[in-house]
Amino acid sequence: MKKERFWTNFWKELRRNKLAVAGGVVVMALFVISFFAPFISPYDPEQINVEEILLPPSSNHLFGTDELGRDVFSRVVFGARISLKVGFVAVGIATVVGVFLGSIAGYYGKLADSIIMRFVDIMLCFPTFFLILAVVAILEPSITNIMIVIGLTSWTGVARLIRAEILSLKSREFVLAAKSIGANDLVIIARHILPNAMAPVLVSATLGVAGAILIESALSFLGIGVQPPTPSWGNILTSGKDNIELAWWLSLFPGLAILVTVLGYNLLGEGIRDAIDPRLRRR
């Protein structure tokens, strides 16, 4: 009953937050656009047409064309697929690693906690983006490598959140009751502690998707992310940079796509945070 009441109150508070609802609408729209990209796009995003190079926005090409005559609208639509894929896979990897290590550190404490948290401190000493930049530059640029590297360098925040939650939960009555009936550590952590500790992780994951999308776009913009001809908002911006004086639309539309996407996830994440814990709501 308590869980049902929690989720009822959660959805009630979330629906009251108009900015969070707007963010949710943006996120859902991106999912729909990504799923139906082949039907929404009027052209093949990789199709080259030398007769239509750098055409401005028109009824035939809503967002204009690039330096190879490719339809920018089609490339932006398919670029949403790449961004969402990178965001969710990278955050999924970071969440799994962070929850696993944070659970061990928080539940067992002592030596395990010291080793894991000192490693977290070392990871936090390095600027995350430059660490990712260095690793990706060494590896072959590909979407798979980008997702793995972003995920494996972004778990520290999740680990610290889970550790803090478990430290406050492991001495509660329901955990002591589970220990008294002989439940092993894995069952206690997985069935009794983690379900009560995942709320802040949900907020972190939602905001983390926006961060991963920004990182992927930045890497692609620098030429070591998603490689052409695969469309990505970042590599479309690279074309815009190279033709900024001739084709303003190459910078405007993918830039707006990144802005709206990141803003949508941030608004939704802030709304989820406020709905989970009303005490954190901004006055």
Mean pLDDT of 99-118: 91
Do residues 244 and 178 lie in contact, with contact meaning Cβ atoms separated by under 8 Å?
no
- The pLDDT value recorded for residue 61 is 92
* Choices 1.10.3720.10, 2.40.110.10, 3.40.190.10, 3.30.1490.100: CATH for 2-36+68-280: 1.10.3720.10
C-alpha to C-alpha distance for 214 and 221, rounded to whole angstroms = 10
Q: Where are the domains of the chain?
A: 2-36+68-280
What is the SS3 assignment for 17? Answer: coil
- The pLDDT value recorded for residue 6 is 66
- The pLDDT value recorded for residue 40 is 93
- The pLDDT value recorded for residue 30 is 92
- 65 phi/psi in degrees, rounded to 5: -125, 165
- Per the prediction, the chain carries an average pLDDT of 87
> Which has more confidence, 30 or 135?
30
Per-residue pLDDT for 73 more than 70?
A: yes
- The pLDDT value recorded for residue 103 is 92
Residue 261: C-alpha distances to residues 15, 17, 110, 143, 258 (Å)? 20, 18, 42, 19, 5
Per-residue pLDDT for 1 more than 50?
A: no
C-alpha to C-alpha distance for 202 and 126, rounded to whole angstroms = 25
Per-residue pLDDT for 283 more than 50?
A: no
- Encode pLDDT of 125-144 as tens digits: 888 788 888 887 787 778 88
- The pLDDT value recorded for residue 277 is 66
Confidence category of residue 279, pLDDT binned at 50, 70, 90: low
| Report field, pTM of the whole predicted structure over 0.85 | yes
Sign of CA dihedral 16, 19, 23, 26: positive
CA angle, 49 then 50 then 52, to 5°: 75
Per-residue pLDDT for 257 more than 60?
A: yes
C-alpha to C-alpha distance for 92 and 19, rounded to whole angstroms = 25
- Encode pLDDT of 153-201 as tens digits: 889 999 999 999 898 888 888 888 888 888 888 888 888 888 888 888 8
C-alpha to C-alpha distance for 53 and 71, rounded to whole angstroms = 9
Confidence category of residue 22, pLDDT binned at 50, 70, 90: very high
Identify which of 2-6, 181-185, 212-216, 240-244 has the greatest average pLDDT: 212-216
- The pLDDT value recorded for residue 142 is 80
